[in-house]
Structure 1
């Protein structure tokens, strides 16, 4: 049980670590179109992201798939850029756009899982039984993502519900800020990828 709690703690601390803010930005971009009363949709969305990154995290840790880390580090901000752009250009209440958000969460989760794998591999070392640590780490990541989502949803509810900011304008503002940060990050990492 001690090992489980160690990896669970590592999972949530890893996702909430401000040094790895790219994952926080992605979760923010993914959820920027929602308010507090959309919490069920958001829970499904974040779970889709977790399912995606759990699959590639497991496959990467088991060395079934191997993708150069420089490529993954470049693709992570690209996923953020695409998600933020989707928010900016989405028409309000568009059902197809909401389904697209679930696809983004699942598919981009696959990419983010490979980003988490190097960290988890370094923790596991040569440990043979990785099922419990893998499960605990993923549950910790999910918990950390839920913390991020709660913060964003409460902030969005305050801005839209209490301060009276137009929901569409709020979504565009948050998504444009995220887009700018992620675009610069993509350019930096592209330079590292091409060296």
Structure 2
């Protein structure tokens, strides 16, 4: 298998790995205000998140930035909880320029969380890292599209099959995301304090 496909697969696994469900939780929160009819707007937001993720990986891969991993690991559940709370407070506010900038910044944080692992598996000069970074970003984007398609299908099924209104669905889903992310936040806060 070519290096390009290896890193596409690595990107896919990074997002779809159930043990690393923080990425999935963020995507759930990001997706909440959208329906199937809004798929183009959602695709833009997901791509913005991938861009932020990829930029931080690139900058870290080229040795231009670094951050203490315990601090980044603490920030990741903060981004998840903040996004979910925003979706409860403003359930119909799907996309605006502020949301896009925040999504970009949150993608940047999530990318930093993966940068240590990525740098460990990717040795060589900066020019050796360009193709793996691009193929990894492609894998992330493909995996995110799979997750978003599943989420939009679930949202559609809940509204049509169970007659659940969109606002209630968003509140329940966002509350579940917060409930799952809070223990992650507590664990990472504990690690941050130790370090």
What TM-score, normalized to structure 1? 0.94
Partner of 1:93: 92
Verify the 8 A CA contact 1:30 1:101 in the aligned structure 2: no
Structure 2 alignment gaps of length 5 or more? none
Gaps of 5+ in 1: none
Query: Residue 21 of structure 2 corresponds to which residue in structure 1?
Result: 21
Aligned Cα RMSD in Å? Answer: 1.4
2-side partners of 1:148 and 1:122: how far apart?
A: 27
Shift of 1:102: 2.1
Note the alpha carbon deviations across 1:79-114, whole angstroms, 9 max, x for none. 001000000111x534xx631432331110110110
Length, aligned pairs only = 192
Are residue 7 (structure 1) and residue 7 (structure 2) matched? Answer: yes
- Between the aligned partners of 2:95 and 2:85, the Cα distance in structure 1 is 14
CA drift at 1:119? 2.1
**Whole-Å separation in 2 of the counterparts to 1:12 and 1:22:** 14
Paired position in structure 1 for 2:116: 118
Runs (4+) off by over 4 Å: none
Q: Within 5 A, what are the aligned runs for 1:3-152?
A: 3-90=3-90, 92-94=91-93, 98-99=95-96, 100-126=98-124, 129-152=128-151
CA distance in 2, matches of 1:39, 1:125: 37
Q: Please tell me whether the aligned partners of residues 83 and 104 of structure 1 are also in contact (alpha carbons under 8 angstroms).
A: no
